Amino acid sequence: MPRCRTRSPPGAKASGGSGCRRSSTRPENSPEPLLKREIIYSIETAHRAKERDHMVTTVGYVGLGNMGGRLARRLQREHTLTVYDRSAATIDALVELGATAAPSAAAVAAASDIVFLCLPTSAHVRSALFDAEGVLAGAQPGTLIVDQTTGDPAQTRAMAAEVAERGCVLVDAPVSGGPMGADAGTIAIMVGAPDEVFARLQPILTVISPNVFHAGDVGCGHVIKLANNLLSAVHRAVSLEALALAQKNGVDGERALDILLASSGRNFYLETFVRSHVLSGKLTSGFTLELLHKDARLATQLGDHSGVPMFFGALAKEFYQLCINDQGPGAEVNNAALVMDRLAGTHLVPVNAEA
């Protein structure tokens, strides 16, 4: 096996980093575990490929779930991606379209100048960055890391400072518009980055969508994403409440929706999800109650820390906690309509709903 030539990032402890150091107590001819050997070899091979193609910006993606997979496919229209996810099936789907599979986040970073992440929470991002086979174990100094998670701004800023100590750059670029917007290339991308980093990143982000916005410095992308998701959470809850009110007092649900869509109370949730998911009974959307509650919790927490009253956001957060208690954390977000029906004695969702 070739000896590992990857360098530990600046500031890393001698015992940490890429996992490439051999134990001094291991006999010279003793084989290393197969997976570790494969990862080390993959990292070294990727670094050599980068040296050959140093004039080309290489792109990697870690986290190929409901949103990350779609965003990666958009990038793949103009970039050959190196990808990693814990799910082999999601990797295979991108490989079929031309991506290169990597055995770890470290191997993705070793092959990439820019590494995108899209994961459920900031805690998952921290693991993906700093674990033994995480991004920083394979990243070379100067690597740009772009977090597309809906994350905690305070944690993002803290991680950015730690990443900078390792010679790399972390910025945030969460998105809004859902799976449909990602597929259509219309999704909004909210970037928190210094001006010079945004200028470098913007042309690549426009491959995903032309709707790229510079929110401010690091963490500001996550701030405006939380503000947006809080507004969305409130719209969803109040829209269900208004529809239940109308139906309970004699107005058919479909008719109520038609009228509201032509009136001043219309909103994105009414326009996009109510007819297709709630009134149709097809509740599946790929987004869970747990994730929406997480976003509302982070938003109200940010308000608490910055002295902004969170009257309506706090009420919405508690409504989704009630929904989680009733439906379970992994239930579809549209199952909130089932909870509203039970509380109000209505039938917005047909009895044969596909929950």
Q: Which active-site residues does the annotation give? A: 225
Question: 177, 351, 181, 178: which is closest to 280 by C-alpha?
Answer: 351
Question: Which class for 349: exposed (0-12), middle (13-18), buried (19 or more C-beta within 10 A)?
Answer: buried
Greatest alpha-carbon span in the chain = 81
Question: 175, 145, 173: which is closest to 60 by C-alpha?
Answer: 145
Instruction: Say which residue the tokens 């869509």 belong to.
Output: 261
Torsion angle of alpha carbons 21, 37, 97, 204, nearest 10°? 0
d(CA 118, CA 124): 9
CA distances from 291 to 68, 219, 224 (A): 15, 19, 17
Q: At what angle do helices 220-248 and 336-344 cross, to 10 degrees?
A: 40
Task: Return the H-helix or E-strand segment holding 160.
Answer: helix 153-165
Pairing of strands 81-84, 175-176: unpaired
Phi-psi map region of 291: left, alpha, beta (phi>0 left; psi -120 to 50 alpha): alpha
Torsion angle of alpha carbons 212, 216, 219, 225, nearest 10°? -50
Pairing of strands 144-147, 175-176: unpaired
For residue 13, give the DSSP letter.
-
| CB-CB neighbours of 88 under 10 Å | 10
